[in-house]
Structures are given as C-alpha cells and as structure tokens.
Amino acid sequence: MTLLAFLLLALALGSVWARPLTIGRHALPLWPLLFVMSMAWGLVAGVLEPAAIGALVLLAGLAYGCARAPRAWLRLAYGVLTGVLALALAMHKLPGFHNPLLMDGVVLSAGAAPFTLYANFDKGAVGLILLALLCRRAGSLAELGEVLRRTAPVLLLTIAVTLGFALAAGVVGVDFKLPRQTPLFIGINLLFTVVAEEAFFRGFLQARLAAALARFNWGPWLAVAVSALLFGAAHLGGGPRYGILAAIAGLGYAWAYQRTQRIEAAIVVHIALNAVHFIAFTYPARLHGV
C-alpha cells in the first residue's frame, strides 16, 4: 500500500503534462484525481495522517488563490502564505507524515559520508501542487524540444562549473560507479526532490520576483541571483562549502529558467547535475569534505 501511494503521486506529477479529460463541455485535469487517490492510499498505508492531508489541501487552496485571485494584493497575500506553508512542508516541519526510509547510511564511495534516502511524500506533494498551479510549463512536444535545445549549453556549463569547484575544493573526488541503487536514487531524487525544489525556487519564487521587477532592466537578473542565493542558504545544513556549491548550481538552474521561462529547463539541469554527481563523483561528499 505504501508503494501504491507513492506510485499514484508519481503518476499525478507526470499527468500535469497530460491532456485533461473532456467530459461534456468540461475539461478536467488528471492530476487532482490521482493526487486525491495517492493521499487516500497514503492514509490507509499509514504514510499520512488526517492532519497531513489537511495541510496539503490547504496548500492547494492557497496556491490556487495565488494564481487566480482577482486582485493583486490578494494574490500577494496568498503567495506569501503559499511560500511559507510550502517551505514548512518541504522541510518536514509539519506533523502527520511518515516518510519511508529507503537507504540507511549507505557508503557509496570509499571515504564518502554515509548516505540516507527517504521517499518524502510531503516534499513530493509540494512539488506537484506548485508545478500544476503556479509554474509555466512547455505546452507541446515541439515547445519542449526548443526548451531543451536552449537549455543544453546551460546544462553543460552548470555541471562543469559546479562539479569542477566541488573537485577543486576537495568536497568530492572522481569515482565512476553504477551501484544497484542508481535507478532508485535518480527516480526518487527527480520526483520527490528536484521537482519540488525547482517548482519552489524557480517556478514560484524567481518567476514572481522577476515579474515584480520587470520594469527594471536588471530585475530578472536580480531574481536569478536571489533564487540562487536562497537555494544555497537552504543547503547550508550540509556545511558552508556545500551551501556555496548549492548556490553555484542554483545559479545554473535559475539561468536555465530565465533563458527559457519554462520549468522543465531548471528541472532537467538539476537532475542531470545530480545524476552525474551520483555516478561519476564521490556521493554525497567526502567524509570530511564539507
């Protein structure tokens, strides 16, 4: 039952890009139905408690208000509340969630710090809600192809600069590997970490800050810098060097979003960097590297 709850949540994330169901004159998106099913199964499986479902429903209502409220001051108020609640959920500060442990203290490289991996329903649900209601997405395969084409140089530069700095700083070493946990890590990292972080820092925060500063030529680039710095600050729990590296990576994710104005660009750069880090370098870091 636990697996089914997360599978339904993953399908809900994927269905954000699917065509809505047409019932008579009405077009109904698939993701809310799959999301409700995932929460129901999560409740049955013991992953969620009623308080957790209440918090997620509240977040969805606030995000909808942020997107659709008729007055600017209302959208701002809803946006502030959305950001606060989304951050609290993503940082696992609210009760009612029992996220399963998937990897416990696994050492993936010689001399690496132990790595622990959870499947985080709260963070994954935050990503779904923000992605569906507040993020600009590619509307067709042709548009997605153009987004990926424009993203490719940013992706390569972000990987080279971020991991180059990490290598120079002694945070990681070169370590090519393909452990049996690789598909699990990439899938969980993409669906329940990367989407949520990019939906929040780029699709929600950066996009709204850039819109607020649009009358200034430097406004969008200030939004890029702010989202990158806040992303780095959010990772300072791993140590100062880890926070700096996260800010450098965040600059690449923010640039990809600014270049394309589509959330897929930031998501692709982020998961590509994480996958290269996992497969080709010490993961998560040298034991005394941060």
Q: How many CA atoms lie within 13 A of 285 on its CB side?
A: 18
* Tens-digit pLDDT profile for residues 7-41: 999 999 999 999 888 777 777 899 999 999 999 99
pTM of the model: 0.95
**Residue 289 falls within a domain, yes or no?**
no
Query: Number of structural domains, the chain?
Result: 1
Q: Note the pLDDT of residue 289.
A: 59
**Residue 44 falls within a domain, yes or no?**
yes
Q: Note the pLDDT of residue 24.
A: 73
Q: Note the pLDDT of residue 20.
A: 85
Containing domain of residue 218, as a range? Answer: 2-280
**Residue 290 falls within a domain, yes or no?**
no
Please check the confidence at residue 288 and state whether its pLDDT lies above 90: no
CA 101 to chain centre: 19
**Residue 288 falls within a domain, yes or no?**
no
* Tens-digit pLDDT profile for residues 41-55: 999 999 999 999 999
Nearest to 200 by CA among 272, 141, 152, 263: 263
Q: What DSSP element (H or E) covers 232?
A: helix 219-234
Backbone angles phi, psi at 289, to 5 degrees: -85, -15
**Residue 105 falls within a domain, yes or no?**
yes
**Residue 286 falls within a domain, yes or no?**
no
**Residue 285 falls within a domain, yes or no?**
no
**Residue 202 falls within a domain, yes or no?**
yes
